Amino acid sequence: MKRKNRVLVTGADGFIGSHLVEYLIKEGYTVKAFCIYNSLGSWGWLDSLPPALQAELEVVLGDIRDPLCVREAMLGCDQVFHLAALIAIPYSYVAPASYIDTNIHGTLNVVQAARDLGVQRVVHTSTSETYGTAQFVPITEDHPLVGQSPYAASKIGADQIALSYWRSFETPVAVLRPFNTYGPRQSARAVIPTIISQIAAGQRQIRLGSLSPTRDFNYVADTCAAFLALAASDAALGQVVNASSQFEISIGDTAALIAEVMNAEVEIVTDEQRLRPEASEVNRLFGDNTRLRELTGWQPAYGSQEGLRRGLQRTAEWFIDPANLARYRPGAYAV
């Protein structure tokens, strides 16, 4: 297979990043994976990829907060998919300064290196959390930005840094704003793997936070397809683009659907430590994906309740594998 562009994926060791790396390789791209430095030499979730895919990778260990690391990793790359970030909302209450350093300064390092090196395209990763609780639905890209957590505020800042480089220097940046991505390999700090891992471990009292908020869940394959679609769209330069299923469901109804998919009868128990501060809870997320569809022709393969069911089935199948479940601590609260 003739290889396409050489691309850099920052945050390649994480949940979405590892799926994106896998997706890019299968689509024929030459991939350089930027992973957080650690003394074990771990590639994070990339360690779980089949050896044949790992052999296709060039892996660089570094730190997104270090401009020299970022620049060296970007040398020779045509496109950059910037996913490296701290993303856990509860931990942003504990260590907010680290979110500024990683998410804002890290993004500055990426767009500055891209500007200096003449990179053809940077796709920067945002989050639907930047909107806060929906003021109108479905949420379009024109919705006000409301930082209801230090995490959300740091991502608003990161998005604006990325867009400022398009406006100031014509650095070719597009911003993808995924709604709630889920799938295999996701951290148990997120609600869907929290529920699935507890059921898979045999627990029938499922500990959760608030059940009433709604979310617009996107299966990870749809999010990966959105990244590639946006990278190929010149019309998306300088724009923020939602990637959403355009379907909302409450956390409580999501838990019930997961239990149904996994053939389990469960009781939901409120765990106080999983509740966000009242003014920090995002009560409704329901996105409009019209702009992405019109710019690129992208369509979610897992949209609607039927699509969510299929995505949950695939996710549960991964989690019930004992080798995968062993990576988690079901029932323990992951900040």
Please tell me which residue in 151, 182, 302, 328 is annotated as part of the active site: 151
DSSP category for residue 259 = H
Is residue 151 part of the annotated active site? The answer reads: yes
User: Where are the alpha helices (H) located in 88-149, listed in sequence order?
Assistant: 89-94, 96-99, 106-117
- Residue 317 tokens read as 């199948």
Closest CA to 118 of 85, 164, 157, 165: 165
Cβ atoms 83, 128 nearer than 8 A: no
Q: Which residue in this structure is represented by tokens 């006000």?
A: 144
* 331 burial via Cβ count (<10 Å: 0-12, 13-18, 19+): middle
Burial group, residue 236, by CB count within 10 angstroms (0-12, 13-18, 19+) = buried
**Tokens 């680290």 identify what position?**
98
Which residues make Cβ contacts (< 8 Å) with residue 28, sequence separation at least 6? Answer: 1, 2, 3, 4
Asked if 52 and 43 touch (Cβ cutoff 8 Å), the reply is: no
Question: Residue type at 22?
Answer: E
| Residues acting as catalytic residues | 151
